[in-house]
Amino acid sequence: MRPTQILGVGKYRHLKLTTKDVGRGFYKGNRTGAMGRHTKYGGYIIEWSKVRTYVVPQNLSESKVRMPDHCYIYNVLHLTPFVSREVRSEPGDYKGLAKGPQDPYFYVEQWKRYNGVD
């Protein structure tokens, strides 16, 4: 992948790119490391000892998961979320606050309530 052209000029070019500097489609990864090495002729050699493998838990086929209808790879299971879909979040009570939960007064009051007064 390449960074956008505007980021490639000037002194900004020498700074490390982050995911917040560019738009969607740029994935830098987080301490992922290289899976191989470049050759002097422009090729790339994958070092299989560095490739990550994920172990499937035992008895996964017996768990409460279902196979999706559109799945074309065998033995691929659709895992369910950790939290049930019947659980609904309760909306907060922000009456009288201009910015709702982003109001600085609300933040200070919450801090005093849970941490005590300094």
Is there a contact between 33 and 47 (Cβ–Cβ < 8 Å)? no
pLDDT of residue 79: 59
Of 56, 52, 105, the residue nearest 76 (C-alpha): 56
pLDDT the model gives residue 43: 93
Rounded CA separation 110/118 (Å): 13
Q: pLDDT at position 45, please?
A: 94
Helices (H) and strands (E) in the chain, counts: 1, 2
The whole-number pLDDT of residue 27 equals 61
The domains of the chain are located at 5-46
Are the C-beta atoms of 99 and 111 separated by less than 8 Å?
no
Q: Are 49 and 37 in contact (CB under 8 A)?
A: no
- What is the structure's pLDDT at 114? 84
H helices within 1-118, ranges in order?
A: 104-115
What local confidence, expressed as pLDDT, does residue 51 receive? 85
**What are residue 54's phi and psi, to 5 degrees?**
-115, 130
pLDDT in tens, the chain (118 residues): 565 666 556 665 566 666 666 666 666 666 678 889 999 999 999 999 988 877 766 776 666 555 555 555 445 555 566 777 787 877 777 788 888 888 888 888 888 888 876 5
